[in-house]
């Protein structure tokens, strides 16, 4: 991650924020891909992909929005999707949280992201 003072000086506030969001979304993709055994390239793919790949992408978008607090539009831009697609992904993930196995998995990923954010000076 780029240091705040250096990043703002070098890129300007808006551009720095965009770079930080992109970096955070790439981390979420890697975390979800590792947890689900799916390639990061499948999550980043332009098309829908298999059901498992689409579900992994939805999970990553959900975590970026809910755990990192990024707007639907910002998440959509980072994942190459529309904000309405991100909203749909978030609704799907919320519905799946009724399943105890899914809830345990998503809670573990949220905890990992929370820990990561604390290590990067956010979320305190």
Whole-angstrom CA distances from 122 to 41, 55, 98, 109 are 27, 27, 29, 17
Q: Give this prediction's pTM.
A: 0.82
Cα–Cα distance, 88 to 111 (Å, whole number): 23
pLDDT digits (tens, 9 = 90+) for 71-119: 999 999 999 999 999 999 999 999 999 999 999 999 999 999 988 888 7
Q: Domains of the chain (ranges plus CATH)?
A: 4-119 (1.10.1750.10)
CA 67 to chain centre: 8
Element (H, E) at 44: helix 40-44
Q: Compute the mean pLDDT over every residue in the chain, rounded to the nearest whole number.
A: 84
């Amino acid at each position: 991650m780029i240091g705040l003072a250096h990043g703002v000086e070098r890129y300007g506030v808006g551009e720095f924020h965009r770079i930080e969001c992109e970096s955070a979304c790439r981390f979420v993709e890697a975390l979800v891909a590792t947890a689900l055994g799916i390639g990061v390239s499948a999550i980043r793919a332009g098309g829908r992909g298999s059901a498992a790949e689409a579900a992994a992408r939805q999970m990553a978008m959900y975590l970026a929005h809910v755990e990192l607090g990024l707007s639907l539009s910002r998440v959509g831009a980072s994942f190459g999707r529309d904000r309405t697609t991100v909203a749909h992904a978030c609704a799907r993930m919320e519905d799946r949280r009724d399943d105890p196995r899914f809830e345990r998995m998503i809670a573990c990923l949220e905890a990992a992201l929370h820990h990561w954010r604390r290590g990067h000076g956010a979320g305190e």
